[in-house]
């Protein structure tokens, strides 16, 4: 069943931290007839050239296909909706078992959105004429698509969209089948949290309000939490993070550390998730033009993905201990803001020449990565939890570079890896999850472009050539040679939806992260005989 809703009441103007997913009801009998349905029905078939004779409302569907000059197998690309006699609507879609996960999610999204356009209170789901194994896989995918698109995102419209309240699954083995889909509900809820946070306007999700929401969530979930505020980071020498944050009038920026230590966590591998949380990015003194400043309230998406992935890891009981480091700030323009040709000092003592103030993400991540990975931080204690140790794996998430969008558009995200094996796992996880990633090179001969005459390294170049690669080379300096992945989230916003998700805000990285960590744990077990996995 879907997780219960929880509310954040810290601010009267703050929206719900969680939205409820639709309640799932399982009906053991198959749906033999839809003619009397007054609701919204999704009917899934396998790709085939002829419609089954016993398919509900088959005659009516054949007439519609004939009118549109469509062959039955074209339902695998273009779902078709028919109006039912009693006022209901049934959408028919075919899935090709030979197609990849992304394509299956994409066609399911198109089918579900034909029903969701009317914002119904309930939807029904039936899979027709397939093997039991295929039925289970397709039901799980369909439920995920219906859940992630059935919950309305925060809106300040006078009449906001309604959320789906009820899902009815026909043909379940038993009425308690809902418990078998709790993991799908958890993944959908985590994706929803990432999108819900990302869509919030910058005047409502300031660093202070964001941190307060995280505190509420940490208390609810039982996570350890430690906040390194601006003054603390100044004293520690985190000059890269503080250079970005100092332009804000409010000293509300912080690096927030969350820790999740399940039972026997000392026997489990430890993963560090690092997220860029720039709640608004003006570009600083290198001010963005209006075209590129629009949407910069979403520049905290990397932190939302890291936070939501932790929620999914806990709900799915993955055998891994997790530290999450969220670099939360704003990049403002003011008399205190950092400038071109400033030289700042990162937490590890590296002197960095500032070349462009709109390349702030790699600066806040540099100090966050240092906190997450450096050996002398392995004895930091958090509230009632075990001591932090150096991670076995580090993953950072960030909407980092425009050049990645230039390279890939918004239908893939780019990934960089410290070694080939991790890179191949990352791409495989993209295929498994339907959130596709492209592996980029980061060879050492790119790095001379960052040589500085006045400091240890430049932050970036003015030319911007291969900036996504140079940013990855820059970040790698702060990982202390730990196994590391950097996800540049060019697919964080795709205007016409992407894969399973219909909204522009995609929550990309949550499903990918679950798939990647699952495969990574399996590979550790295969290579090392790790009993905890």
* Percent of the chain residues past pLDDT 90, beyond the cut: 82
Mean pLDDT of 371-378: 78
Q: Does pLDDT of 479 surpass 90?
A: yes
Distance from C-alpha of 142 to C-alpha of 113, rounded to nearest angstrom: 12
Mean pLDDT of 213-232: 97
| pTM for this model (two decimals) | 0.93
Q: Does pLDDT of 376 surpass 80?
A: no
Strand order of the β-sheet with 80-83 is 23-27, 166-170, 122-128, 40-46, 89-95, 80-83
Question: 74 is written with which tokens?
Answer: 């074209």
List active site positions: 288, 362
Write down the CATH superfamily of domain 212-528. Zn peptidases (3.40.630.10)
pLDDT digits (tens, 9 = 90+) for 176-210: 666 789 999 999 999 999 999 999 999 999 999 99
* CA-based nearest residue to 168, from 76, 35, 37: 37
pLDDT digits (tens, 9 = 90+) for 225-257: 999 999 999 999 999 999 999 999 999 999 999
Mean pLDDT computed over every residue of the chain = 92
What angle (nearest 5°) sits at the alpha carbon of residue 368, between those of residues 365 and 371?
A: 150
In the chain, CATH 3.40.630.10 covers 212-528
Architecture of domain 23-186: 3-Layer(aba) Sandwich (3.40)
What is the distance in angstroms between the CA of the first residue and the CA of the last residue of the chain?
26
Question: Which 3 state secondary structure label does DSSP give 396?
Answer: strand
pLDDT digits (tens, 9 = 90+) for 98-144: 999 999 999 999 999 999 998 999 999 999 988 888 999 999 999 99
In the chain, CATH 3.40.220.10 covers 23-186
Question: 515 is written with which tokens?
Answer: 């798939």
pLDDT of residue 419: 96
pLDDT interval class at 386 (50, 70, 90): very low
* Percent of the chain residues past pLDDT 70, beyond the cut: 92
pLDDT of residue 19: 67
Contact partners, residue 249, CB within 8 Å, separation at least 6: 332, 334
Q: Does pLDDT of 18 surpass 70?
A: no
């Amino acid at each position: 069943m879907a997780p219960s809703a929880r509310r954040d009441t810290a601010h009267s103007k703050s929206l719900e931290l969680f939205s409820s997913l639709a309640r799932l009801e399982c009906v053991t009998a198959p749906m033999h007839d839809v003619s009397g349905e007054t609701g919204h029905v999704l009917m899934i078939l396998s790709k085939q050239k002829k419609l089954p004779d016993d398919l509900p409302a088959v005659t009516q569907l054949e007439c519609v296909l004939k009118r549109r000059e469509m062959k039955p197998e074209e339902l695998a690309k273009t779902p078709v909706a028919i109006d039912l006699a009693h006022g209901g609507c049934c959408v028919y879609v075919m899935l090709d078992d030979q197609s990849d996960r992304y394509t299956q999610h994409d066609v399911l999204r198109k089918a579900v959105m034909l029903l969701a356009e009317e914002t119904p209170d309930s939807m029904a789901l039936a899979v027709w004429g397939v093997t039991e194994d295929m039925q289970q896989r397709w039901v799980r995918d369909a439920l995920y698509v219906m859940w992630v698109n059935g919950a309305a995102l925060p809106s300040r419209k006078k009449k906001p969209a309604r959320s789906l309240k009820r899902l009815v699954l026909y043909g379940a083995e038993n009425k308690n089948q809902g418990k078998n889909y709790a993991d799908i509900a958890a993944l959908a809820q985590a994706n929803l949290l990432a999108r819900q946070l990302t869509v919030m306007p910058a005047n409502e999700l300031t660093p202070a309000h964001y941190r307060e929401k995280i505190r509420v969530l940490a208390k609810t979930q039982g996570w350890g939490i430690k906040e390194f505020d601006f003054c603390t980071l100044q004293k520690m020498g985190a000059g890269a993070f503080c250079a970005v944050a100092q332009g804000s009038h409010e000293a509300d920026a912080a690096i927030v550390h969350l820790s999740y230590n399940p039972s026997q966590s000392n026997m489990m591998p430890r993963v560090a998730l690092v997220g860029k949380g720039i709640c608004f990015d003006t570009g600083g003194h290198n001010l963005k033009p209006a075209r590129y400043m629009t949407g910069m309230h979403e520049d905290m998406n990397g932190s939302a993905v890291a936070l939501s992935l932790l929620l999914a890891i806990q709900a799915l009981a993955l055998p891994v201990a997790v530290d999450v480091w969220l670099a939360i700030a704003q990049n403002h323009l003011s008399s205190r803001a950092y400038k071109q040709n400033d030289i700042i000092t990162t937490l590890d003592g590296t002197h960095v020449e500032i070349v462009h103030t709109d390349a702030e993400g790699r600066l806040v991540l540099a100090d966050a990565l240092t906190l997450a990975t450096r050996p002398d931080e392995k004895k930091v204690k958090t509230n009632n939890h075990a001591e932090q140790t150096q991670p076995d794996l580090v993953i950072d998430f960030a909407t980092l570079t425009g050049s990645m969008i230039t390279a890939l558009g918004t239908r893939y995200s780019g990934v960089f890896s410290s070694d080939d094996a991790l890179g191949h796992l990352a791409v495989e996880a993209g295929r498994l999850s339907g959130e596709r990633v492209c592996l980029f090179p980061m060879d050492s001969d790119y790095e001379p472009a960052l040589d500085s005459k006045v400091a240890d390294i430049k932050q970036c170049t003015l030319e911007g050539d291969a900036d996504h690669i140079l940013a990855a080379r820059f970040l790698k300096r702060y990982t202390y040679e730990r196994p590391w992945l950097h996800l540049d989230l060019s697919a964080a916003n795709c205007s016409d939806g992407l894969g399973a998700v219909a909204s522009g805000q995609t929550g990309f990285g949550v499903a990918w992260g679950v798939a990647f960590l699952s495969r990574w744990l399996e590979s550790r077990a295969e290579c090392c005989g790790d009993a905890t996995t």
